[in-house]
Chain A
Amino acid sequence: MDSKVSLALIGLSHRTAPLGTRERYVVSQSDLPEVLRALKQVEGIEEVCVISTCNRTEVLVIGRKGTDLPAHVRAQLFRNLPDEQVYAYEDVHALIHLFRVAAGLDSVVIGESEILGQMKRGMEAALAGGTLGSVLKPLMQQALHVGKRVRSETEVGQGTLSVARVGIDMAERVFGRFGSVRVLIAGAGETGVLVARHLKEKGVADLVFTNRTLERAAQAAAEFGGRAFALTELPALTQKSDLLVACIEAEHPTIDVDCFDARSLRRRDRPLLVIDLSVPRAVAPEVAKLDNLILYDLDVLQEVVQKNLAERNEATDSTASILVGELHKFLALRTYASFSPAIAQMRERFEKARDEVLDHVAGAKSSPETVRLAHELTKKQLDIALDSMKQGARHTRSEESLSDEYRRFLENL
């Protein structure tokens, strides 16, 4: 970091504060400009950005070296909160924390990607409020880049964690694209509507609802542009469907083997996929034995969710190298940026020396060729000097030492 400024991150999150406290400290999008303005006016604070979600409220500040930034921010925003509910990280640890937040490693659901949008909104609000400057702006941009890299290069963001979505993922493994898939949703309650919404997003065009009360099915069908039928028509409807999603509330399975015509099942080109999201099960387990039919119930989908969760947790180890690499890159850039006054001075001195030599050697008789040569030579020398400075900036903090720092940070979590 620049030797004249320091970075601090102060906040509370699901790790330190209960939901009730977090709710009280959420900074809404409409309040954000006011909060940013108030923080910017605090003595010693030069740049500020606020990230606020239902799980965390964090303030990222750049201030003059020597200023007790955490104390100022606490006094301004987190007054009357017990010490253990508010955390404060400074300099490299603040960077590590920010990158981990962007990567979704500090989220309730590891790898969730909503945080990137929330950080982006925080950054845009700070930009609009004029509280982002030459340090925080590139830092926030780099944090967003880290978040995207971690999700694309590791398994952290992979695998769905909602049962309904896992069901749709399963359907995707059968049908690929949903454009030509005929979907039958049995049960037009909350889950049925949620599934319909997901499927609509995926591009399903042919959607049929069936429900005990036809009125409710008709309501859902009207909302999603589908067709509605009574539940009694289910056997006939299954013959014309590729995907049956059951979300029926009943004490005993409503959909049994008799609801399917085994002969027509065997003759259909695509297999029929049946997803049972009901608790207790609405589809009798024997249905799975039918030929050319695949049945997944809640237990199966829940297993997939657990597996995805375990894989995400496992994948967090592989993010360390990305985070440390990006940290190193950012610090090198900051160090190099802090050289800019010296670079400007050096450029000036090089050019002055060149002009003096030109005057001394050739005086007024110097040919355009000599002048061009002198300019080229100076430029080349300056480039070499700047390159050495860049190399130096890169070695100010080695990746190994940052790796150790990262390990220490994790140990203190």
Chain B
Amino acid sequence: MLQPLAVALPVGYIVAALLHGMAFGGTRAPHVTRERVWVLRLTLAAHMLWFWALAETLQSFPVVDIASTVSAVVLVSALMYGLLARSVKHAGSGGVVLGLAALLQLSASAFVNLHPLPRLAAPTAPLGPTQIVHVSLSVVATASLLLSGVHGTLYLVLFRLMKRRNFGPVFEHLPDLDLLARLTRGAALVGFLCLTIGMNLGIYLAHSEQRPGFNYRETEVVLSILTWLYFGVIAFSKRIPGFTARRASMAAAVGLSVLLLSTFLLFFPRLAFHSNL
């Protein structure tokens, strides 16, 4: 089941992204509200099933290597997007969020380790509850930052369209500027809070279990601290004089680019986090 689902998941996200993005096709685009909701629900259900099957196969918490972490980020960001779209009653950013999710899942499915004896991914001992919370919070934080970056980018796109008086389907179907600004900062705040707890738990774990390989100059640790600081500034930017919604959006968009680049260039080639531990 793992292999077919690994192939099916990116397809599911691609179809969901296409259905969500259909509104941008203008007046001639078919109305697919019900279909897009169901495709997303089915894809999310399949994704959860995949993680359950992976956990069964590995006999451990299924987020063990870079690929499965990226996949978990995809699942959480798609879930968070679904909840957000429901609460704000607007699905305008779905095409982009799910498009990015599809791209990430495609990479995750290509690299994920589906074997009971992982190459080097799974830690020798199964993860304890604190470690699971640390990993889960890091995943939620990354998903939030991803959403913050996407909404920030969309803010910039919409602002540009407004300034240039380009009132096409993209202008019509994106959420309003205020909402995009709120989503950018709100998602950054969730990410910041999760990262605060997740990072502290990680530091606590490193010290309490006296892991000899741990040091603060490790790439993951340095990047996490920088990300934490960066998105913290975005989350509280409304209180910083001169840090306008547009600047916050620009910062979130840059943050997203860095996050994606670091995932693809730094982490994917290494297969696992904290591999020196």
- Give A residues with C-beta under 8 Å from B: 153, 155, 158, 172-177, 266-271, 288, 292, 294, 296, 300, 303-304, 307, 311, 314-315
A294 to B178, Cβ gap below 8 A? no
Contacts of B163 in A (CB 8 A): 288, 294
Interface residues of B in 159-178 (CB under 8 A from A): 159, 162-163, 165, 167, 171, 175-178
- Give B residues with C-beta under 8 Å from A: 27, 31, 158-159, 162-163, 165, 167, 171, 175-179, 181, 238, 241-242, 244-246
Contacts of B162 in A (CB 8 A): 173-174, 271, 294
Contacts of B245 in A (CB 8 A): 269-270
B28 to chain A: closest residue by CB: A314
A173 to B177, Cβ gap below 8 A? yes
A314–B163 alpha-carbon span in the complex (Å): 28
Contact of A176 (CB < 8 Å), options: B31, B159, B167, B175: B175
Contacts of A158 in B (CB 8 A): 27
A271–B179 alpha-carbon span in the complex (Å): 13
Given A153-B31, A269-B238, A292-B244, A173:B165 Cβ within 8 A: no
A271 to B246, Cβ gap below 8 A? yes
B177 to A267, Cβ gap below 8 A? no
Contact of A173 (CB < 8 Å), options: B31, B171, B238: B171
Given A173-B171, A294-B162, A270:B27 Cβ within 8 A: no
B179 to A269, Cβ gap below 8 A? no
A270 to B242, Cβ gap below 8 A? no
- For the complex with contacts A176-B178, A271-B177, 5 further pairs of A-B residues with Cβ separation under 8 Å are A153-B31, A174-B176, A175-B178, A270-B245, A271-B246
Given A173-B162, A292-B246, A311-B27, A304:B178 Cβ within 8 A: no
A176–B171 alpha-carbon span in the complex (Å): 13
Given A176-B178, A314-B27, A269:B244 Cβ within 8 A: yes
User: What are 22 A-B contacts defined by CB distance under 8 Å?
Assistant: A155-B27, A173-B162, A174-B162, A174-B177, A175-B176, A175-B177, A177-B178, A267-B244, A268-B244, A269-B181, A269-B238, A269-B244, A270-B177, A270-B178, A270-B181, A270-B244, A271-B159, A271-B162, A292-B246, A294-B162, A296-B165, A315-B27
A176–B177 alpha-carbon span in the complex (Å): 7
B242 to chain A: closest residue by CB: A267
Contacts of A153 in B (CB 8 A): 31
Contacts of B242 in A (CB 8 A): 266-267
Given A173-B171, A174-B176, A266:B27 Cβ within 8 A: no
Which of the listed residues A174, A296, A311 has the most CB atoms from chain B within 10 Å of its own CB?
A174
Contacts of A311 in B (CB 8 A): 27
Contacts of A300 in B (CB 8 A): 165
A273 to chain B: closest residue by CB: B162
Contacts of A271 in B (CB 8 A): 159, 162, 177, 246
9 A-B pairs closest in CB distance: A176-B176, A267-B242, A176-B178, A155-B27, A174-B177, A176-B179, A294-B162, A175-B178, A269-B244
Contacts of B238 in A (CB 8 A): 269
Contacts of B171 in A (CB 8 A): 173
A271–B171 alpha-carbon span in the complex (Å): 16
Contacts of B175 in A (CB 8 A): 176
Contact of A307 (CB < 8 Å), options: B167, B179, B241: B167
A174 to B178, Cβ gap below 8 A? yes
A303–B168 alpha-carbon span in the complex (Å): 12
Contacts of B179 in A (CB 8 A): 176
A300–B165 alpha-carbon span in the complex (Å): 8
Contacts of A267 in B (CB 8 A): 241-242, 244
Contacts of A175 in B (CB 8 A): 176-178
A296–B167 alpha-carbon span in the complex (Å): 12
A163–B158 alpha-carbon span in the complex (Å): 21
A300–B163 alpha-carbon span in the complex (Å): 12
Contacts of A172 in B (CB 8 A): 176
A176–B167 alpha-carbon span in the complex (Å): 16
A315–B31 alpha-carbon span in the complex (Å): 13
A265 to chain B: closest residue by CB: B244
Smallest CB separation, A264 vs chain B (Å): 10
